[in-house]
Amino acid sequence: MQDTEALDLIDATANARKFQVILKRLFDEMSVIDEKSNIVFRFLAIARQHYDTIVLLIEQERNPSSACALLRPLSEVMNRGVWVSACAQPDQIRKIVTKTFDFAKVNFAKEVADSFGGNGLSQKQRDVLHGFTHGGYEQLERQVSNRGLIEPEFDLPFLTKAVRSSSVAISLLASHAAVTVDRLDIANAVWNTWVRLFEQRIE
């Protein structure tokens, strides 16, 4: 079982690396066309850095605590970027541009979920992400190894899910970013690539 779990993780990180290369190729020569796309592409830039770091830290078996702590920021950046793409009104876009928009007053995840007929994250899921980010029980319980040493120990299936779920987040935001510059072909390419690399592997 351990060997299978290790191979699953290797497979997930390898596919995440392939996904990153493809995203770079698809987006590096794209240009923004207006204020909305400018903002969304900036969120995508942040999200890609979070994604890269999550994969890097897990792939190299370094600092899994830090890798998992980035899951919540990645989720939040994804929700903000998708919200700007799909939900934000022109006056809200202008306020973001002039740095007068109060991000704290918007429940981005809920508004995005409502816009697409989804449910968003449950309270339990949000609490788990918060716990990984802020040293809650989700982190504390993984800081003692099965040998009783104070050292991080994350089970392999969880790390595999972390890589795959972060790939979903980056795919959603990248697709929306492409739509903001009228590149539906790129949005479809992003989603089709994600399906090819990850869909059959999601549990």
Give me the residue spans of the domains in the chain: 2-201
Calpha distance 185→109 (Å, rounded): 26
* pLDDT of 201 strictly over 70: no
Residues of the chain with pLDDT > 90, as a percent, come to 78
Which pLDDT score is estimated for 203? 46
Please give the model's pTM, rounded to 2 decimal places: 0.92
Calpha distance 164→95 (Å, rounded): 34
Which carries the bigger pLDDT value, residue 200 or residue 26?
26
* pLDDT of 34 strictly over 50: yes
* pLDDT of 175 strictly over 80: yes
Count, residues in the chain? 203
157: nearest Cα among 8, 3, 57, 16: 8
Give the single-character DSSP code of 151: S
- Once rounded to an integer, what is the mean pLDDT over residues 1-25? 92
Which pLDDT score is estimated for 177? 98
Please check whether residue 139 is in contact with residue 158, taking contact to mean a CB–CB distance below 8 angstroms. no
* pLDDT of 1 strictly over 80: no
Which pLDDT score is estimated for 202? 45
* pLDDT of 196 strictly over 90: yes
* pLDDT of 200 strictly over 70: no
32 pLDDT band (50/70/90 cuts)? very high
Which pLDDT score is estimated for 151? 86
Which positions ≥6 away from 189 have C-beta within 8 Å? 26
* pLDDT of 83 strictly over 60: yes
Which carries the bigger pLDDT value, residue 118 or residue 157?
157
Q: Which residue has the tokens 């590149």?
A: 183
Please check whether residue 39 is in contact with residue 93, taking contact to mean a CB–CB distance below 8 angstroms. yes
55 pLDDT band (50/70/90 cuts)? very high
